[in-house]
């Protein structure tokens, strides 16, 4: 009879990464095993699970699991996980990292993800120390205990993580020690089924650093310490969860409540504000019934090469709004892939500002404009700041009364419109950006008049739609004399 030499959970582990490099007695390996057991017993769709980690001993776990894993920079796993979840809401996103990564350098991401009730599952390994870099004092090191940077004992009050997370709005908060494997596994299964921000703190053995400094030199010593100094309650009060030597470590499920998560709140608000029936969270919308027929009859977008557009002016000229409207016209109503960004200098209002747009009929894999093909410039100060971005054979749109382009290559095509003067004649100089939008629409092929007008309606303040559409038409008619770029 042949004995099968296979770990019962091998399909969830990367054999090529074994043996792991975790220290003897470390509680991280135990908790990783609890996670694997939870995923196996819970019968979850493993193709829809992603594990995100940061920097530190616990950050190794994402690489040991045979799942889609992301090893991010120090303190940023929750920020990365938030983007991952909002981009693909069907994913179950797990963050597995340490207390230094999540509660120190990543502390702001932690509290705001809890406040927003982002539907991600956070497993925080709290070993009271920075285990990967030498056992230094951290924000969870208990008062009076020793570390390599508190040789006379810690005199700071540590974070009470369950109390912090409950106060911030997390809807599932639990704590166990690495000696309570069964409870950890069950909590992970519970959190996986919970919709909303879930936080599981695991007080983890670190005999090499924190343990050795505090007379708990082996994994056995630490497990015994945890079992003898733990109090498990059915409904513990998070205010009592501060860890102090000489008092029991309070464990249990501190909160487990239902509340709309971030995506549910976003869907409700955007549906009310924009008049859409559903926001899927993947950057696309389902339009009301009367719009569905129009969308179903839309032809696929024309093939266009990737085009980078830089919009520049002064704070207060509506440069960010101009880019937003262009992006919506190109993406929502024309079907192109777009990326939109904006930039303000420290001067804010009155200082040079810009926004950027990338448009393509194929997927855009760039986060922001790097070498613009087209520049729209509405102030001389902005021209001085961004003239360096003008390249051979590029196209420039300018407000002819406010911008005097100098020292530009002969191959550059310049289109000029008195946008601000035209807006002033209409009664408000503030709509000069919308006049420029109409001019741009008449000359370029990226979106139609109809798409631009729809984007204007959904982007400008309520009650100003008709005035802005008038400004748009003025700019469009002025641009028709030029023909296409």
pLDDT digits (tens, 9 = 90+) for 255-264: 999 999 999 9
- Output the pLDDT for position 154: 95
Cα–Cα distance between 211 and 206 in angstroms, integer?
Answer: 6
User: DSSP for 438-479?
Assistant: HHHHHH-SSS-HHHHHHHHHHHSPTT-HHHHHHHHHHHHHHH
Structure tokens at 283: 């950057």
In this structure, are residues 18 and 6 in contact, taking their beta carbons and an 8 Å threshold? no
pLDDT digits (tens, 9 = 90+) for 217-230: 999 999 999 999 99
- Output the pLDDT for position 349: 52
Q: Mean pLDDT throughout 117-136?
A: 95
- Output the pLDDT for position 297: 47
pLDDT digits (tens, 9 = 90+) for 279-329: 444 445 555 554 544 444 445 567 889 999 999 998 889 999 999 999 999
Q: Mean pLDDT throughout 49-54?
A: 96
pLDDT-based confidence at residue 266 (cuts at 50, 70, 90) = confident
pLDDT at 404 over 50: yes
Q: Among 311, 362, 310, which Cα is nearest to 335's?
A: 362
Look over the chain and give the mean of its residue pLDDT values, rounded to a whole number: 90
Is residue 181 packed enough to be buried (19+ CB in 10 Å), middle (13-18) or exposed (0-12)? middle
Residue with tokens 């749109």: 397
User: DSSP for 182-244?
Assistant: HHHHHHHHHHHH--S-EEEEEE---IIIIIHHTT--SHHHHHHHHHHTEEE-SS--GGG----
pLDDT digits (tens, 9 = 90+) for 164-199: 999 999 999 999 999 999 999 999 999 999 999 999
More confident residue, 268 or 395: 395
Cα–Cα distance between 323 and 327 in angstroms, integer?
Answer: 6
pLDDT-based confidence at residue 270 (cuts at 50, 70, 90) = confident
pTM above 0.75, yes or no: no
pLDDT at 30 over 80: yes
Structural element, H or E, at residue 417: strand 413-417
Q: Among 435, 317, 325, 326, which Cα is nearest to 374's?
A: 326
- Output the pLDDT for position 295: 45
Please name each of the domains of the chain with its CATH number.
10-256 (3.40.50.970), 299-479 (3.40.920.10)
The region of weakest confidence among 10-19, 98-107, 281-290 is 281-290
Structure tokens at 452: 């631009």
pLDDT at 65 over 60: yes
Beta strand 307-314 with 374-377 is parallel
pLDDT-based confidence at residue 163 (cuts at 50, 70, 90) = very high
pLDDT digits (tens, 9 = 90+) for 332-389: 999 999 999 987 655 445 567 899 999 998 888 888 889 999 999 999 999 999 999 9
């Amino acid at each position: 009879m042949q004995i099968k030499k296979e770990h019962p959970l091998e399909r969830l582990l990367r054999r090529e990464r074994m043996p792991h490099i975790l220290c003897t007695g470390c509680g991280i390996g135990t908790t990783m095993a609890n996670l694997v057991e939870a995923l196996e017993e819970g019968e979850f769709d493993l193709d829809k699970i992603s594990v995100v980690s940061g920097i530190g001993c616990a950050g190794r776990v994402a690489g040991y699991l045979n799942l889609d894993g992301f090893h991010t920079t120090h303190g940023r796993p929750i920020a990365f996980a938030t983007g991952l979840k909002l981009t693909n809401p069907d994913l179950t996103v797990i963050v597995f990292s340490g207390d230094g990564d999540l509660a120190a350098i990543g502390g702001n991401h932690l509290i705001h993800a809890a406040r927003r009730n982002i539907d991600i599952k956070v497993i925080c390994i709290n070993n009271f120390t920075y285990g990967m870099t030498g056992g230094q004092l951290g924000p969870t090191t208990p008062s009076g205990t020793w570390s390599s940077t508190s040789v006379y004992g810690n005199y700071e009050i540590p974070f009470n993580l369950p109390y912090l997370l409950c106060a911030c709005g997390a809807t599932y908060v639990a704590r166990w020690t690495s000696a309570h494997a069964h409870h950890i596994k069950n909590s992970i299964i519970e959190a996986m089924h919970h919709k909303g921000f879930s936080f599981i703190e695991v007080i983890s053995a670190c005999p090499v650093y924190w343990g050795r400094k505090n007379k708990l030199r082996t994994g056995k010593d630490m497990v015994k310490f945890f079992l003898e100094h733990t109090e498990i309650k059915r409904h513990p009060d998070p205010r009592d969860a501060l860890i102090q030597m000489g008092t029991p470590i309070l464990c249990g499920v501190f909160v487990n409540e239902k509340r709309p998560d971030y995506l549910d709140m976003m869907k409700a608000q955007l549906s009310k504000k924009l008049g859409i029936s559903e926001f899927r969270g993947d950057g696309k919308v389902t339009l009301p019934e009367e719009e569905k027929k129009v969308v179903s009859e839309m032809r696929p977008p024309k093939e266009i090469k990737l085009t980078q557009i830089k919009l520049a002016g002064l704070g207060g000229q509506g440069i960010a709004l101009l880019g937003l409207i262009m992006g919506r016209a190109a993406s929502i109503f024309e079907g192109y892939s777009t990326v939109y960004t904006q930039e303000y200098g420290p001067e804010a209002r009155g200082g040079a500002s810009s926004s950027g747009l990338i448009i393509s009929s194929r997927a855009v894999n760039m986060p922001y404009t790097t070498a613009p093909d087209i520049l729209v410039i509405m102030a001389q100060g902005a021209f001085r700041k961004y003239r360096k971005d003008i390249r051979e054979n590029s196209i420039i749109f300018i407000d002819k009364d406010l911008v005097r382009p100098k020292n530009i290559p002969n191959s550059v095509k310049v289109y000029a419109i008195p946008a601000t003067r035209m807006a002033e004649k209409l009664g408000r100089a503030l709509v000069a950006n919308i006049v420029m939008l109409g001019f741009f629409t008449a000359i370029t092929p990226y979106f139609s008049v109809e798409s631009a007008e729809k984007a204007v309606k959904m982007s400008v303040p309520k009650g100003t739609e008709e005035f802005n559409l008038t400004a748009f038409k003025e700019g469009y008619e002025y641009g028709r004399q030029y023909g296409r770029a």
